[in-house]
Structure 1
Amino acid sequence: MGDVLITGPAVRAVAREAEVVMLCGPRGAAAAALLPGVAEVLVWDAPWIADPAPAATDEHIGRLRELIAAADVTEAVILTSFHQSPLPLALILRLAGVTRIAGASVDYAGSLLDVRLRPGEDLPEDIPEVERALAIAAAAGFAPEGDRRMRVATPPDMSALTGADPYIVVHPGAAVDARRWPPERFARTAALLVEVGRRVVVTGSAGEQDLVDLVVAAAPGAVDLAGDLELSQLAGVLAGADVVIVGNTGPAHLAAAVGTPVVSLFSPVVPAIRWAPYGVPVALLGDQEAPCRGTRARNCPVPGHPCLAGVAPEEAAASAIRLADEHARIPSPHSSKDGVTA
């Protein structure tokens, strides 16, 4: 989800000049459908990205070539993250008849890329992923026109589920273990917020119900929305919140895309300069110099999970209250003419 959402400003830049067909994996498809400027979404599981990875068979690769040919794609802008190579996809796109391809690659690209940005030379290393994607699009000839915010299609009003009074969202789950704050800390944070009169809404996937139950049990009156929401509805819940407390996982980027401040429990297995929520007020919590920094580990490589275990619930709750109070003094987002959250 997050990988797709951060490409939103670049997608809008391309959409000003061309019809956008967005190719992404199954886990990013719902997010791609929310991005302004996307005319069509193609879903394909890349063997060099997905975990677990599908087999790289003739049949599987052939399916992507069929999708590209059927969509009549003539040009591609490959928006990889800093640690991903665009070359496997570029090869398949070339074989599918795509005539112009742009991407960022540290490796020699030969005839696979018509426009190649060299990270560290043409492209700075330590910049937000949103700006990296924008730079790739600009090199391909699709420069942004001022608006670099993350945005999604106008989310629905979810007050029937959340209640009409102000609230703070607590999202205790994360896609991988290394990025999870201990669940007891989330529970204690929610309890502290309730004790000082803040309403709490707890979100999570259906598979995270036990985790959400732990948080809700600690915070009397908290609203349990685990497993109840489609992605657009989750966007609506986050858009209605004063602040979101969440790890470095997809909903953090969704909160940024709807303009809601984030208390980010950020494990430095990936760099915060690249992956912290973009374009909104953020309280970044966690030891960014911990031994796990930059490892991209899925499971914590350091006993005791020190990068996040050192963050006290009192600090998270205080940060949330500060951001919520600041957010309350800013006019609420409104729908602009193009139907996206301003």
Structure 2
Amino acid sequence: MNGEPIPLTLEAHARAPAVTPHHRAWGSDVKRILCIRLDNLGDVLMTTPALHALRSAAPQRHLTLLASRAGAAAARHLDDVDAVIEYDAPWVKQDAPIDFHRDLAMRERLAAGNFDAAVIFSVYSQNPLPAAMLCHLSGIGRRLAHCRENPYGLLTDWVAETEPQQGTRHEVERQLALVAHVGAETENERMRFNVSPEDRARLRQHGLALDAPYFVIHPGASAASRRYPTERFAQVAASLASLTGHRIYVTGGRDEAALTAQLSAAHPNAVDLAGTLDLGELAALIQGASVLISNNSGPVHLASALGTPVVDLYALTNPQHMPWQTPNRVLYHDVPCRWCYRSACPEGHHACLNGVAVEDVVAAACELLEARDTLAL
């Protein structure tokens, strides 16, 4: 062998026989589809273009979303979803204890749903086969998913997994490609989330000054590896408030109150909204914002769905979840350990975010603000 030696695992992949799974378009007999997306809110939002493709292929279809508690909250805001079932699956990262009685009850519930087909949406690091087995045991005859290993009878519509060896796609593109294998396509690839008049009315009941321009800052994230330092967020808030005179609304869950309190103390124009907004109210707030500044988390994907400009402080944990089809600035400091897929920095330095200067965040937000103001003229 000439040149550099090939790593053994890559050589094995190269010598593996080509996989040619069979695909066929789902016809008019596929009327009830179970759409499985069991991770987080942002993952559900990035799946909405694929859900729209399933609907567009046959408008009479009934789509049921099977999602975690966090993901299921989006269902009432999604026009393409007819029903939702909440399920915190034991094969997806979660805090709830495993309860096999709950899993058996879910099998019974899915069996009673009389689904014609199931689509299992997953990132490439997730294994779809536990969900495929659940669907098989529930009597769902057609089962579609990406899968790395041969699923044999568990998937009737198997799309061979090619990521990351052959490159990594944005999560929206990945899921659109999945449903295209069964004939579901759409030209409109935007993410979706509906903010209702009731959502806006409830938001106004909080007494916020929503008619004046404002920023939203979201300092939290579910993983420590994806959090920009809180003290720097506070400096960003103070600088933006002083430079622009805009109000700064700081959002987060009840468990993030310590983060939001530190930010809201940075400037008199900063308002702490931790734990006060439901999902619809949060979306209404983001929809009306001049710019969202956030770690890479659910609010970034809400901004993508709503068309709000976003400064995304993007820890280099994975490449698939950047903003989609909305004005954005993605900020990070490049590091050799990029794409670590870890919840905590394995190197201990968190340089991919610690290396982003406050001045760069402020400049990015001001650039997006100026561009938005120019378009409004």
User: TM-score, normalised on structure 1?
Assistant: 0.91
Matching of residues 133-282 of structure 1 within 5 Å: 133-144=175-186, 146-155=187-196, 156-157=199-200, 158=203, 160-196=207-243, 197-271=245-319, 274-282=320-328
Deviations 1:236-265 (A, max 9, x none): 000000110001111111111111111011
Residue identity opposite 1:255 in structure 2: A
1:181 CA displacement = 0.4
Deviations 1:102-157 (A, max 9, x none): 11011111011111111228x9631110111111111122112x110011113433
Tell me, in whole angstroms, the C-alpha distance in 2 between the residues paired with 1:88 and 1:258.
33
Residue identity opposite 1:84 in structure 2: Q
1:331 CA displacement = 5.4
Tell me, in whole angstroms, the C-alpha distance in 1 between the residues paired with 2:208 and 2:167.
42
Maintained 8 Å contact 1:9/1:130? yes
Tell me, in whole angstroms, the C-alpha distance in 2 between the residues paired with 1:292 and 1:24.
32
For residue 214 of structure 1, give the secondary structure of its aligned residue in structure 2. helix
Maintained 8 Å contact 1:22/1:41? yes
Maintained 8 Å contact 1:90/1:113? yes
Q: Which residue of 2 aligns with 1:303?
A: 348
1:31 aligned residue (74, 86, 102): 74
Q: Which residue of 2 aligns with 1:127?
A: 169
Deviations 1:41-70 (A, max 9, x none): 01111111132364262x232122122122
Deviations 1:276-300 (A, max 9, x none): 111111111112x424422211112
Residue identity opposite 1:200 in structure 2: I
User: TM-score, normalised on structure 2?
Assistant: 0.82
Maintained 8 Å contact 1:162/1:237? no
Q: Which residue of 2 aligns with 1:46?
A: 89
Matching of residues 17-28 of structure 1 within 5 Å: 17=58, 18-28=61-71
Residue identity opposite 1:321 in structure 2: C
For residue 27 of structure 1, give the secondary structure of its aligned residue in structure 2. helix
What are the ranges of 5 or more consecutive residues in structure 1 without an aligned counterpart?
Answer: 333-342
What are the ranges of 5 or more consecutive residues in structure 2 without an aligned counterpart?
Answer: 1-40
Q: Between the two proteins, what is the percent identity of the paired residues? A: 39
| Structure of higher CA gyration radius | 2
Cα gap change, 1:305 to 1:213, in 2 (>3 Å): same
Tell me, in whole angstroms, the C-alpha distance in 2 between the residues paired with 1:246 and 1:76.
34
For residue 195 of structure 2, give the secondary structure of its aligned residue in structure 1. coil
Residue identity opposite 1:293 in structure 2: R
Residue identity opposite 1:275 in structure 2: H
2:125 aligned residue (83, 87, 91): 83
Maintained 8 Å contact 2:246/2:269? no
The RMSD of aligned alpha carbons is: 1.9
Tell me, in whole angstroms, the C-alpha distance in 1 between the residues paired with 2:91 and 2:108.
19
Q: How many residue pairs were aligned?
A: 327
Maintained 8 Å contact 2:159/2:178? yes
For residue 38 of structure 1, give the secondary structure of its aligned residue in structure 2. coil
For residue 179 of structure 2, give the secondary structure of its aligned residue in structure 1. helix
Check if 1:67 corresponds to 2:114: no
1:13 aligned residue (53, 78, 90): 53
Tell me, in whole angstroms, the C-alpha distance in 2 between the residues paired with 1:268 and 1:61.
34
Cα gap change, 1:217 to 1:311, in 2 (>3 Å): same
Runs of 4+ in 1 over 6 A off after TM superposition: none
Q: Which moved more, 1:240-249 or 1:59-68?
A: 59-68
